[in-house]
Amino acid sequence: MASSVLYSNIGNPPTQIIKGEGHYLLTEDGLKLFDATSGAAVAALGHNNPEIKAAIVEQLETLDYCYLPFFTSAAAEKICSFLTESTGGEMSKVFIVSSGTEAVEASLKMARQYFVELGQLPRTKFIARKQSYHGNTLGSLATGFHKGRRAIYEPILAANVSHVSPCYAYRGCKSGESDEEYVNRLAKELEDEFQSQGPDTVCAFIAETVSGTTLGCVPPVPGYFKAMREVCDRHGALLILDEVMSGMGRTGTLHAWQQEGVVPDLQTIAKGLGAGFVPIGALMLNKRVVEVLSRGSKAFVHSQTYQGHPVACAAALAVQNIVARDGLLDNVKLQGELLGKLLQERLSGHKRVGDIRGRGLLWGIEFVKDKTTKEPFPAQEQIGQKIHLKGLEPKYSISLMPGPGIVDGKDGDIILIAPPYTVSSADVKHIVNTIAEVPSGRYLSITRKRDK
Ligand code: PMP
């Protein structure tokens, strides 16, 4: 029977998953796939966790829903307190939504409102980075920069955004250039962009702390965010860090900025917050922003029906309690180091593997047609998608996430590896061994024999 679900590929339904169990997804065809990407870097605890189920049921039995603008709930209070405390009080208020996109959208509106409260009405613009992803609504899509995703919506995008280069050492750093020189060059580019936009017209610079799929798990070079923060501070603009993918433990600390020596003014989180058990995201506000709001209109001119949903909040709190109780951030660091080391050992010598990079349990392998020139594969080859589909074959049985268009929004491929925080060393070895054996058609053939 034809499906009524609107998939991304209308004519081609994806595999149906009938059950999730621990690190595995069971398919309708009887396969047991290792979920090496936790969905889209979401399922931090794996699947079907009895403690989270119990927390959800308990919340449903107590209070299923209340409308947050009118009422609050213990669940919303608790998860927001947990989140502000986890930042050492740097962030002092949290606005709970249902997705990463909504958190980013709220951050743009909050940034604008902040300057309205300050009477700086000409501040209406944003500076973001090329090859970034911040979501799919008309404001968040405007801040992201993936040509393919934006193309047909360009005329109706809803925020005034210009874009500077991302911090992408593999392609951005010139030969012989030190990290410091590279950072200085990127800081100058941001400074120049402020000047060309008019420094007093910019609300904020927005960036992913560790970039996700659109660039492919690229951590910043040391000192990058400190330098960007300085440029923002010089012009009184806000720094928004989008940690929808890299935050909530994925890169080894609860917040990715905790490894960068900067504190954002606004921060978005989502995926690891509810770990996929419920749809949840959040915007976190620095105390500096809260202070301005408290002196001004005292209200965020933005609300949503499912804001602070009690069931989502209770599930997220249960997830975060498990992450803390079971020392999972330490495991993310430990297994992340092993994952990076094994990927380098097994794959860096391969003629089609241009770069392997990542942090914690967020790793990307960038494939190139020519390793010397770094020429990417053309988009129509769909290299990442081919690897993903190969991985679903019975002898590999692994779910890997493709990231197309990383070089210029059209060409260039990565696969993303982001397993649950609960993986063991044996799981990590299994992931790397399987990836090393997944041949991907005549272009890649990542078999060790042929490439040695
Ligand atoms: N920002 C970043 C950095 C993301 O990785 C994503 C999702 N991939 C989003 C925003 C959008 O989140 P969502 O898909 O939950 O709307």
Alpha helices in 265-420 (DSSP H): 271-274, 287-295, 310-325, 328-347, 383-391
Q: Which residue has the tokens 């992931």?
A: 431
145 Cβ contact list (under 8 Å, min separation 6): 128, 129, 130, 131, 132, 163, 214, 409
This prediction has a pTM of 0.97
Say what the pLDDT of residue 449 is.
47
Instruction: Output the CA 145–ligand 1 centroid distance in Å.
Output: 13
By alpha-carbon position, which residue is closest to atom 1 of ligand 1? 134
Examine the predicted complex and report whether its ipTM is higher than 0.90: yes
How is the chain split into domains, by residue range?
Answer: 17-48+327-451, 51-325
Say what the pLDDT of residue 438 is.
85
Say what the pLDDT of residue 4 is.
85
DSSP for 64-110 reads S---TTT---HHHHHHHHHHHHHTTTSEEEEEEESSHHHHHHHHHHH
d(CA 59, CA 170): 47
Q: Is 42 in the pocket of ligand 1 (CB under 6 A)?
A: no
Q: Is 235 in the pocket of ligand 1 (CB under 6 A)?
A: no
Q: Which atom in ligand 1 lies closest to the alpha carbon of residue 102?
A: 16
d(CA 141, CA 124): 16
Say what the pLDDT of residue 269 is.
98
Q: Is 133 in the pocket of ligand 1 (CB under 6 A)?
A: yes
Contact (Cβ atoms closer than 8 angstroms) between residue 280 and residue 270: yes
Instruction: Output the CA 4–ligand 1 centroid distance in Å.
Output: 25
CATH topology match: 17-48+327-451 vs 51-325: no
Report the CATH number of the 17-48+327-451 domain.
Answer: 3.90.1150.10
Say what the pLDDT of residue 409 is.
81
Say what the pLDDT of residue 213 is.
84
SS3 of residue 445 by DSSP: coil
What is the assigned CATH class of domain 51-325?
A: alpha beta
Contact (Cβ atoms closer than 8 angstroms) between residue 44 and residue 316: no
Least Cα distance to 205 among 108, 286, 94 occurs for 108
Say what the pLDDT of residue 404 is.
86
Q: Using 50 as the pLDDT threshold, list the residues of the chain that sit under it.
A: 447-452
Q: Is 100 in the pocket of ligand 1 (CB under 6 A)?
A: yes
Say what the pLDDT of residue 451 is.
42
Q: Which atom in ligand 1 lies closest to the alpha carbon of residue 270?
A: 15
Whole-Å CA distances, 85 to 164, 401, 414 = 33, 33, 35
Q: Is 317 in the pocket of ligand 1 (CB under 6 A)?
A: no
By alpha-carbon position, which residue is closest to atom 14 of ligand 1? 100
From 134, 213, 243, give the residue whose CB has the most ligand 1 atoms within 8 Å, as the site to mutate.
Answer: 134
Least Cα distance to 184 among 170, 204, 167, 171 occurs for 167
Say what the pLDDT of residue 101 is.
98
Q: Is 212 in the pocket of ligand 1 (CB under 6 A)?
A: yes
